[in-house]
Amino acid sequence: MLKFDEFQKFGGEGVDVVLKQFGAVSKGVQALASEVADYSKEAFEKTAAAAEKLFGAKTLEKAIEVQSDFLKTSYEGFVARSSKFGELYADLAKETYKPLEGYFGKAAAK
């Protein structure tokens, strides 16, 4: 059975765990937001460049080639970034759970 001082210590450790989790979540969300901003900027620049090439196309064949190249590179970029986002979300989940591992281990032992 837990004594009052043990209970108090256990509660204080819980607060520490929550603060560590909050730090991990904010760090992970910040990394995701940065990646989203980078991807958005990059996508806008590539779209603007493709539109400029498309308007400069002299023939229908050239316009189709520009559009096809743009779609291909956009899709490849999207797939690559999707993988990166998946890794970032997995890292966020792992880092958020880390402080709980020791905490719940101590709770089960008592």
Tokens at 37, concatenated: 């901003």
Burial of residue 86 (CB within 10 Å: 0-12, 13-18, 19+) is exposed
Angle subtended by helix axes 4-56 and 60-109, to nearest 10: 180
Mean confidence (pLDDT) of the chain = 84
Question: Maximum CA pair distance of the chain?
Answer: 84
* Chain centroid, CA 60 distance in Å: 40
- Whether this prediction's pTM lies above 0.85 is answered by no
pLDDT, position 96: 84
pLDDT, position 19: 81
pLDDT in tens, 32-83: 999 999 999 999 999 999 999 999 999 999 999 999 999 999 999 999 999 9
Checking if the pLDDT of 94 tops 60, the result is yes
Checking if the pLDDT of 13 tops 80, the result is no
Q: Domain locations in the chain?
A: 4-109
pLDDT, position 17: 76
Burial of residue 27 (CB within 10 Å: 0-12, 13-18, 19+) is middle
